[in-house]
Chains A and B, each alone.
Chain A
Amino acid sequence: MQWIKKHLATLSRLSILLVMFLLLVIVSPSFGTMTNILNVLRVSSLTLMVATGIALCMLVGGIDLSVGATIALTSILFGSRFQLGHGIGDMVFGIAGILVVSALIGACNGFCVAWLRIPPFLATYGIQQIARGLAYVLTNGLVYSNFTSTFQFIGGGRILGIHTPIIFAALLLLIVGLMLNKTTLGRRIYAVGSNREAARYSGINVNATLMMAYILSGIIAGFAGIVYTSRLNCAEPTIGSEFAQEAIAAAAIGGISFKGGHGNVFGVVVGALILTLITNGMTLLSIDSNWQVGATGVIIILAVLIDRNTAKKKH
């Protein structure tokens, strides 16, 4: 009984997911097939990865609007600069380079938020402009495609019949989940998010914790960029623009509080799946794809309004 009470919010989210799933199965018989379920998981896995990073920023009371531009910039960098040859060594070097660059973008965000005290949504918007601008400058108007088949396997391959993005997303969730629950960094992230002053007085280095959250979000976005580039087999500066809002929506449905300190990674999984089912359902009902952007907007607002941690009566 107590267990149910404790996990009531998560259980209600799970039941929403189940009801939606059953509805879609009834509406469209082809929905319940293994192929389609794997497809839904594959589509949601990228949103899920990015959302996990954003969730870390939200847990420390911030936000990261720069993830889409990080994906574009790292994708372009891989296509134009890092893919020197066709050997495995070159590819590994390229991927390592991307992770370093995305960590640097995250560090810029973290520096602006922690040391310059810029409101997170403004800091990450500014960095987003700079990163996407750089992506355009670096492309010289070219689109990079035709990557090696080894690289294409990262985002487009299958292991034991399961798409690689799903496996990567599952691994990432496992790592981030363990980090949040079992390490001091995880505890610090929750502490800084729920009460920054209290965290400071109890000896936590608040700025370093903020910095780590944004760096991790950057690295995760960079990794998602690798998987995305590999799946598209193409790199251009316009990609990834919709990722930030989708990921924010997924995190919001998943019960990550915008005030910081509340929520867990499991919620984000359910959130990302609900979001994907909504967009998948809209596609099945052949609704204009333009509406999907608006749907994420409505979902963000509704999720925040329903969430009791944020929607308390003012001040």
Chain B
Amino acid sequence: MNAKSGRRRVQAVLKRVPMTLFLLLGIILVFSLLTGPAKYLKLSNVMNVINQCASGVGILALGSFLAICSTGVDLSLGGIASLSGMLTAKLLSWAPAPIGPALLLVLAIFVALAAGAVMGSLNGLILSRTNIPSFIITLGVSKICETLSRVIAGGTTIRVNGHAAFEFIGSGSLLSVQQTTMKGARVITRSIGILPVSVLIMLALYVLFSLLMRRTPFGTYVYAIGGNYEAAELSGIDTTRTRFRVFLLGGLLAAVTGIIMTSRLTAASAANGLGMEFDGIAAAVVGGAAMTGGRSTPWRTFIGALTISVLRNGFSMIEMLPAMQMIAIGLVLIIVVAIDAARNRR
């Protein structure tokens, strides 16, 4: 083996690493310099970011990726997450419940997923059979979900108290480490979960969707539709069914996000999750998806979702005002999509 082939091999490996990873590392570097590496890179904050990703944009971004990859967009994901989270909380706070807590948990999760499936199917039914722009139908469905969520909430926050099994989904961990810190003269010992259940669910879903996109006809069809709709239809792909499934899966993924979100907060308010669909789009596009469809993979989307979570966490760490965060996220969304559009024009 000579030096030349070695270099070539390094280049080949570098080519397969998505550029987004360098962007993510760059952002982490900037934030750790701004807040101090010891404070920013300590285990509790790192796990915090990953947890926020799992209960936030992480799982939902897969739905955004699927919709964008098949040349659509799904603006109802945040609304569905809000509705599913609200339904879970409402059912679990049912008192006195006619059934045992274990059965109630199963029922709550089933109903939340069913709501996601129904709303996703509504998107899918309309969008697979007409050529109405997807943003307008999903916007309408989002408003319907938001309304249902508000009506169920009845103007308050629904709390879920004392349901250990349910809290385990969003806050539990299979493995924890003890970390001791000195605060003045006192020694504080904290237990930090390093294998959180919600993160494992998220990773499992990414593995599943990665296989789905690479090894099944469905994945091939989605890429084909995104690449060239006419050609996909002419080559005999059932585009109606594929588009329907894309939005159905999006609804289910948003419902999972809603359940984890409610479990982590042990409460649901109607505003939870609203607007998250735009984080999902930003994550998918940062990960390399093109708004014109047919590009990127689930794992690249994962890096995009991590990037968005790191940004949100970092803005809080440097104590940016919430209003300034709104402005910053708006700017990030515009810049990211503008770069994508410029790349496509070339």
Check A313–B131 contact: CB distance below 8 A: yes
Binary CB contact string for chain B from 197 to 238 against chain A (1 if under 8 A, 0 otherwise): 000000000000000000000000000000001100100000
Interface size on A, residues (CB 8 A): 44
Contact residue among B126, B143, B291, B334 (Cβ-Cβ distance under 8 Å from A245): B143
Q: How far, in angstroms, from A293 to B281 measured CA to CA in the complex?
A: 24
Cβ–Cβ < 8 Å partners of A163 in chain B: none
Cβ–Cβ < 8 Å partners of A300 in chain B: 136, 139-140, 143
Check B130–A312 contact: CB distance below 8 A: yes
Check A294–B330 contact: CB distance below 8 A: no
Contact of A132 with B by CB under 8 A: yes
Contact of B341 with A by CB under 8 A: yes
Check B139–A132 contact: CB distance below 8 A: no
A69 to chain B, nearest CB (A): 10
Give the residue among B325, B330, B344, B345 with the most A Cβ atoms within 10 A: B330
Cβ–Cβ < 8 Å partners of B331 in chain A: 126, 130
Binary CB contact string for chain B from 323 to 346 against chain A (1 if under 8 A, 0 otherwise): 111110111011001100110110
Cβ-closest chain B residue relative to A128: B330
Check B338–A130 contact: CB distance below 8 A: no
Cβ–Cβ < 8 Å partners of A310 in chain B: 130-133
Q: Given the interface contacts A125-B278, A293-B147, does A301 sit within 8 Å of B137 by beta carbon?
A: yes
Q: How far, in angstroms, from A305 to B137 measured CA to CA in the complex?
A: 9
Check B338–A133 contact: CB distance below 8 A: no
Q: Given the interface contacts A126-B331, A304-B137, does A313 sit within 8 Å of B130 by beta carbon?
A: yes
Q: How far, in angstroms, from A245 to B143 measured CA to CA in the complex?
A: 9
Check A116–B133 contact: CB distance below 8 A: no
Check B144–A137 contact: CB distance below 8 A: no
Check A293–B334 contact: CB distance below 8 A: no
A254 to chain B, nearest CB (A): 14
Check A258–B130 contact: CB distance below 8 A: no
Q: How far, in angstroms, from A238 to B148 measured CA to CA in the complex?
A: 22
B330 to chain A, nearest CB (A): 3
Binary CB contact string for chain A from 109 to 144 against chain B (1 if under 8 A, 0 otherwise): 000100011110111011111101110110000000
A300 to chain B, nearest CB (A): 4
Contact of A219 with B by CB under 8 A: no
A249 to chain B, nearest CB (A): 9
Check A112–B334 contact: CB distance below 8 A: yes
Binary CB contact string for chain B from 57 to 82 against chain A (1 if under 8 A, 0 otherwise): 00000000000000001010000000
Q: How far, in angstroms, from A298 to B140 measured CA to CA in the complex?
A: 6
Q: How far, in angstroms, from A133 to B142 measured CA to CA in the complex?
A: 22
Query: Which of B97-141 touch A at CB < 8 Å?
Result: 126, 128-133, 135-137, 139-141
Contact of B150 with A by CB under 8 A: yes
Check A311–B341 contact: CB distance below 8 A: no
Interface size on B, residues (CB 8 A): 49
Q: Given the interface contacts A290-B147, A291-B151, A305-B126, does A133 sit within 8 Å of B327 by beta carbon?
A: yes
Cβ–Cβ < 8 Å partners of B140 in chain A: 297-298, 300-301, 304
Q: How far, in angstroms, from A288 to B153 measured CA to CA in the complex?
A: 13
Binary CB contact string for chain B from 7 to 19 against chain A (1 if under 8 A, 0 otherwise): 0000000000000
Cβ–Cβ < 8 Å partners of B291 in chain A: 119, 122
Contact of A259 with B by CB under 8 A: yes
* Number of inter-chain CB pairs below 8 Å: 142
Check B334–A127 contact: CB distance below 8 A: yes
Check A118–B337 contact: CB distance below 8 A: yes
Contact residue among A119, A134, A291 (Cβ-Cβ distance under 8 Å from B147): A291
Contact residue among B128, B144, B334 (Cβ-Cβ distance under 8 Å from A118): B334
Q: How far, in angstroms, from A49 to B52 measured CA to CA in the complex?
A: 41
Q: How far, in angstroms, from A291 to B154 measured CA to CA in the complex?
A: 11
Check B334–A126 contact: CB distance below 8 A: yes
Cβ-closest chain B residue relative to A61: B133
Contact residue among B132, B323, B341 (Cβ-Cβ distance under 8 Å from A116): B341
Check A293–B136 contact: CB distance below 8 A: no
Check B329–A129 contact: CB distance below 8 A: yes
Check B334–A123 contact: CB distance below 8 A: yes
Contact of A6 with B by CB under 8 A: no
Binary CB contact string for chain B from 31 to 54 against chain A (1 if under 8 A, 0 otherwise): 000000000000000000000000
Query: Which of A119-174 touch B at CB < 8 Å?
Result: 119, 121-123, 125-130, 132-134, 136-137
Cβ-closest chain B residue relative to A314: B131
Q: How far, in angstroms, from A291 to B144 measured CA to CA in the complex?
A: 9
B136 to chain A, nearest CB (A): 5
Cβ-closest chain B residue relative to A129: B330
Cβ-closest chain A residue relative to B148: A294
Q: How far, in angstroms, from A290 to B146 measured CA to CA in the complex?
A: 9
Q: How far, in angstroms, from A122 to B341 measured CA to CA in the complex?
A: 12
Contact of B321 with A by CB under 8 A: yes
Give the residue among B128, B146, B239, B337 with the most A Cβ atoms within 10 A: B337
Check B143–A136 contact: CB distance below 8 A: no
Cβ-closest chain A residue relative to B143: A297
Contact residue among B131, B147, B323, B341 (Cβ-Cβ distance under 8 Å from A117): B341
Check A304–B132 contact: CB distance below 8 A: yes
Contact residue among B136, B326, B337 (Cβ-Cβ distance under 8 Å from A133): B326
Query: Which of A244-278 touch B at CB < 8 Å?
Result: 245, 248, 252, 258-259
Cβ–Cβ < 8 Å partners of B330 in chain A: 125-130, 133
Using A117-B338, A297-B141 as known contacts, list a sample of 11 further A-B pairs with CB atoms less than 8 Å apart, ordered by residue number in A.
A116-B341, A119-B337, A125-B330, A129-B329, A132-B326, A133-B325, A245-B143, A288-B151, A294-B148, A300-B139, A304-B132
- What are 23 A-B residue pairs whose CB atoms fall within 8 Å in the complex? A118-B334, A119-B337, A121-B73, A121-B135, A122-B334, A128-B330, A129-B329, A130-B326, A130-B330, A130-B331, A133-B324, A134-B323, A134-B327, A137-B321, A259-B133, A291-B147, A294-B146, A295-B147, A300-B140, A313-B130, A314-B240, A315-B131, A315-B230
Pairs A-B, 3 closest by C-beta atoms: A294-B147, A297-B143, A129-B330
